[in-house]
Amino acid sequence: MKHTRKFAVGAVLAAAVGMVAGCSGDAEQAPAEGSEGSGRGPITFAQGKDTTGKLQTVIDGWNADHPDEEVTFIELAEAADEQRTALVQDFQAGAGTYDVAGLDVVWTAEFAARDWLVPLDDIDTTGLFESTVDSGTYDGTLYAAPYNTNAGFLYYRTDLVETPPTTWAELEDACDIAVANEIDCYAGQFAQYEGLTVNFSEAVNSAGGSVIDENGEVTVDTPEAKAGLQFLVDGFESGTIPAEAITYQEEEGRRAFQAGNLLFLRNWPYVHGLATQEGADSVVQDTIGIAPLPGADGLGASTLGGYNLAISKASENQQTAKDFITYLESEEVQRTLLTELSLPPVRSSLYDDAALQADVPYLATLKSALENAVARPKAVAYSELSTLISTEVYEALQGSVTVDEALSGLQEDLQDVVDAS
Amino acid sequence: MKAGRAVLDDVVRHPDMTLEGAPDPRTRTQAAPDGARAGGARRRPGRSREGRFAFWLVLPTLIVLAGVIGYPVVRAVVRSLYDDPVGRTPEFIGLGNYAEAVVGSGAEDFWAALSTTMFFTGTTVVLELVIGMAMALVMNRAFRGRSIVRAVVLVPWAIPTAVCAVLWRWTFDANGIVNHLIGQQVLWTGSEWPAKWAIVFADTWKTAPFIALLVLAGLQTISQEIYEAARVDGAGPVRRFVSITLPLVRPAIVVAVLFRMLDVLRIYDLPQIFTHGANDTRTLSMLVVEESIGNLKAGMGSALSTLTFLIVFLVALVYIRVLGARVLNGRDGGAA
């Protein structure tokens, strides 16, 4: 039986070795020098999957006017994590496959600090929302130019609620209506993932606090931060937030709301389109109201979402890349992005456009949400911070640690990460 | 003679499955796991010309393997000895990453992930073995519609793990079909033990057919004549199973369990999609990916993947030495 055994040992080796090989990333290679890359010529543009298929027409518009500086669209995965992986691998290797890349607002700091991005100081940002410009800025320099933006809404049922709540206290009072109608009251995204970091930051900001303040200090051990987390924890304890919301990401919450099981839902603008269109699947399609998020006293502050545009240091045609970014930020393209691709523009004047307001019913609400929106903590080690936040907050929501314990532990852990990077 | 006819049927329908099932019991017991063995030359080491020819035939493969497996492995081990700075070249820190992972600030995560991985390994392999064995026994019987049953049993194995994970996440949704059937509102992805058992369930569902397939291949090499003889001697069904089926199918089981152990020790996609590692379901592989891709710490990630490699290797080695050797050598009287 010698052979059987050798075969078995060989199988172990092969499988185990394959694992090490498959799992190890290699981040050593420095990005290629970008000094010579100031020329013009064909470039690529990489961003997440365009589910509408309309982005190509926008790019075609550029290509028609710039035959020698043609832009090729590279479609990345739909999930943000996978987009990030693709970009990281390209930037790390300095391969230069992606000249212009769509970056989630939270990636700016970690990419810029690793010296993967070209500074974009010469890009004109007048007329863009300040918060979006801020989200692409690292260490006082613009590294990622605003492309599209996003903010959370409070969705509510217009058939059950006359005026949407503007404070948490009003929201809790309105929950009596939910009880009377035997449905659940409020939900957001409370599963342990990036969405929980978003919801937690929102709660803290809406109570007047911050996760990391403007000086880069971690501030989750403050009374404001405690009030924010307490609102969510109390919600689960009192049943204002249904127990099953601990498993909710965006889609679970949307389904519950569309099925008529929720009075209030915190979610992104995309829900509006789906919930009003999905005929029989949405029992609430004619009774959806949208409002800015409520806060501790007065309206709350949404977390800023959206994508920015950055240029890879390994790009050879950076001048073309800059011009292309300027094109994507032009009023005309921004308008198309909103009407054809449902991407909220970063140009604030478009939000006051009467024609657009008639087309897109949530535009006015989105504008006020964007004006108050707060970016997530800017940190080189953002992924690490976010994982720590969502893990600790999740335990507090489950009731396995108290709000005070969770936040003092989090304060320490976050500070360690911030200090280390 | 019904059973005898079934064997004949098999030879006709699946000649490849029974090709190696020669009457000699020594050959028979190693037939199934040995299917992938390449080896005329190895049997006769004395004939060096043939051996040299074999070497040249194998060489291209070895070169490719060295390039696509050997190089990355060595790179990973080397990289694990360097730190993870932002904006400067990594510096050599010896075993710093390992120390940090095992006893330093990463220790809590590492040991939690290790125990979770071990829990999944222990539970799923046992469940899959029992269920897969039962499936194989059923599939090995002659009955009408057997080929349909064989095809159906293999369906879960044919579904990609990621798809399977999404499918079970929907099934275990708070308002999903599982809760509907049991009439209770269990939050399967919302607390520790329901999440763990749901993952064990999904993994068992998916891979029990794999064990069934390997065990079935083993079962088919057992000659029906042995059963006939045992029956003539008055052995009952239990006795026949314990004294004939189990010993003869053991090599197949050993290899099937080994494969599954190696697989589940590296489990990643199922818990990743199911819970994102929430509720203490984060496995070693998830930790590796989180560090190297999520946190962009290639050094720490390489250290963790090397540790995972060592753990997997150790577990498998102990398994082969302690359990496997006894089974594999049993009939040879200990000659290894």
Sequence ranges of the domains in chain B: 107-332
Min mean pLDDT across A44-58, A119-133, A318-332, B316-330 is at B316-330
Instruction: Give percent of chain A above pLDDT 70.
Output: 90
Last residue of a domain, one of A372, A389, A404: A372
**Are A60 and A207 members of one domain?**
no
| Mean pLDDT computed over A372-379 | 87
Q: How many separate domains does chain A show?
A: 2
Report the residue of B313, B315, B329, B332 to disrupt the A interface, i.e. the one with the largest count of A CBs within 10 Å. Answer: B313
Q: How confident is the model at residue B202 (pLDDT cuts 50, 70, 90)?
A: very high
**Are A55 and A105 members of one domain?**
yes
For residue A13, is it within any domain? Answer: no
pLDDT tens readout for residues A106-132: 999 999 999 999 999 989 999 999 889
| Mean pLDDT computed over A14-42 | 52
Choose among B330, B322, B321, B243: nearest CA to A1: B330
Q: How far apart (Å, rounded) are the C-alpha atoms in residues A203 and A300? A: 8
pLDDT of A280 reads 66
Instruction: Please tell me which of the candidates A19, A23, A247 has its beta carbon nearest to residue B189.
Output: A247
Last residue of a domain, one of A336, A354, A372: A372
Q: How far apart (Å, rounded) are the C-alpha atoms in residues B85 and B299? A: 9
**Are A283 and A345 members of one domain?**
no
Q: Is A148 left (phi over 0), alpha (psi -120 to 50) or beta?
A: beta
Give A81→chain B minimum CA distance, Å. Answer: 8
pLDDT(A105) > 50: yes
**Are A346 and A202 members of one domain?**
no
For residue A131, is it within any domain? Answer: yes
Give B234→chain A minimum CA distance, Å. Answer: 31
H-type alpha helices, chain B:
2-13, 15-18, 25-29, 40-43, 48-65, 71-79, 96-102, 107-140, 146-158, 161-171, 177-182, 192-219, 224-232, 237-240, 246-264, 269-275, 284-289, 298-318, 325-329
Instruction: Please tell me which of the candidates A85, A246, A381 has its beta carbon nearest to residue B295.
Output: A381
| B45 CB neighbour count, 10 Å cutoff | 9
**Are A398 and A280 members of one domain?**
yes
pLDDT of B198 reads 94
Q: Do A85 and B190 touch (CB under 8 A)?
A: no
**Are A169 and A215 members of one domain?**
yes
| Mean pLDDT computed over A2-20 | 49
For residue A2, is it within any domain? Answer: no
Q: How confident is the model at residue B326 (pLDDT cuts 50, 70, 90)?
A: low
Min mean pLDDT across A183-187, B17-21, B128-132, B248-252 is at B17-21
More confident residue, B153 or A26: B153
| Mean pLDDT computed over B133-156 | 88
Residue A417's SS3 state is helix
pLDDT(A300) > 50: yes
Instruction: Please tell me which of the candidates A24, A256, A383 has its beta carbon nearest to residue B72.
Output: A24
Choose among A376, A356, A392, A326: nearest CA to A150: A376
Closest residue of chain B to A381, computed from CA coordinates: B295
Closest residue of chain B to A195, computed from CA coordinates: B276
pLDDT of B91 reads 92
Give B7→chain A minimum CA distance, Å. Answer: 25
**Are A161 and A80 members of one domain?**
no
Q: Do A20 and B308 touch (CB under 8 A)?
A: yes
Report the residue of A2, A3, A4, A384 to disrupt the B interface, i.e. the one with the largest count of B CBs within 10 Å. Answer: A4
Give A22→chain B minimum CA distance, Å. Answer: 8
pLDDT tens readout for residues B247-292: 999 889 999 999 999 999 999 999 999 888 899 999 999 999 999 9
pLDDT of A155 reads 95
Interface pTM (ipTM) of the complex? 0.80
Note the pTM of the prediction, 2 decimals: 0.82
Q: How confident is the model at residue A345 (pLDDT cuts 50, 70, 90)?
A: very high
Q: Which residues of A touch B275 (CB under 8 A)?
A: 192
Instruction: Please tell me which of the candidates A23, A247, A383 has its beta carbon nearest to residue B187.
Output: A247
Instruction: Please tell me which of the candidates A21, A30, A191 has its beta carbon nearest to residue B73.
Output: A21
Q: Which residues of B touch A24 (CB under 8 A)?
A: 72, 75-76, 79-80, 288, 292, 298, 301-302, 305
pLDDT tens readout for residues B162-201: 999 999 998 998 888 999 999 888 889 888 999 999 999 9
Q: How confident is the model at residue B27 (pLDDT cuts 50, 70, 90)?
A: very low
Q: Which residues of B touch A416 (CB under 8 A)?
A: 105
For residue A293, is it within any domain? Answer: yes
For residue A26, is it within any domain? Answer: no
The helix or strand, by DSSP H or E, that contains position A146, with its residue range, turns out to be: strand A145-151
Cβ atoms of B159 and B206 closer than 8 Å:
yes
Contacts of B283 (CB under 8 A, 6+ apart): B113, B116, B117, B120, B267, B268, B271, B277
**Are A252 and A384 members of one domain?**
yes
For residue A33, is it within any domain? Answer: no
Q: Which residues of A touch B79 (CB under 8 A)?
A: 24, 26, 28
Report the residue of B173, B185, B189, B314 to disrupt the A interface, i.e. the one with the largest count of A CBs within 10 Å. Answer: B189
pLDDT tens readout for residues A176-191: 999 999 999 999 999 9
| Mean pLDDT computed over A309-335 | 94
Residue A311: domain span = 43-150+305-372
**Are A187 and A218 members of one domain?**
yes
pLDDT(A402) > 50: yes
Instruction: Please tell me which of the candidates A8, A25, A381 has its beta carbon nearest to residue B301.
Output: A25
For residue A355, is it within any domain? Answer: yes
Q: Do A246 and B190 touch (CB under 8 A)?
A: yes
Q: How far apart (Å, rounded) are the C-alpha atoms in residues B50 and B44? A: 9
- Give me the total of CB pairs closer than 8 Å, taking one residue from chain A and one from chain B: 185
Give A412→chain B minimum CA distance, Å. Answer: 12
Give the domain CATH number at A113: 3.40.190.10
What is the average pLDDT value for chain B, to the nearest integer? 83
Contacts of A272 (CB under 8 A, 6+ apart): A153, A155, A288, A290, A361, A362
Q: Is B219 left (phi over 0), alpha (psi -120 to 50) or beta?
A: alpha
Report the residue of B295, B307, B319, B326 to disrupt the A interface, i.e. the one with the largest count of A CBs within 10 Å. Answer: B295
For residue A30, is it within any domain? Answer: no
Closest residue of chain B to A24, computed from CA coordinates: B302
**Are A169 and A278 members of one domain?**
yes
Q: Do B294 and A113 touch (CB under 8 A)?
A: no
**Are A330 and A343 members of one domain?**
yes
Cβ atoms of B196 and B271 closer than 8 Å:
no
Q: Which CATH superfamily is B107-332 part of?
A: MetI-like (1.10.3720.10)
| Mean pLDDT computed over A136-142 | 92
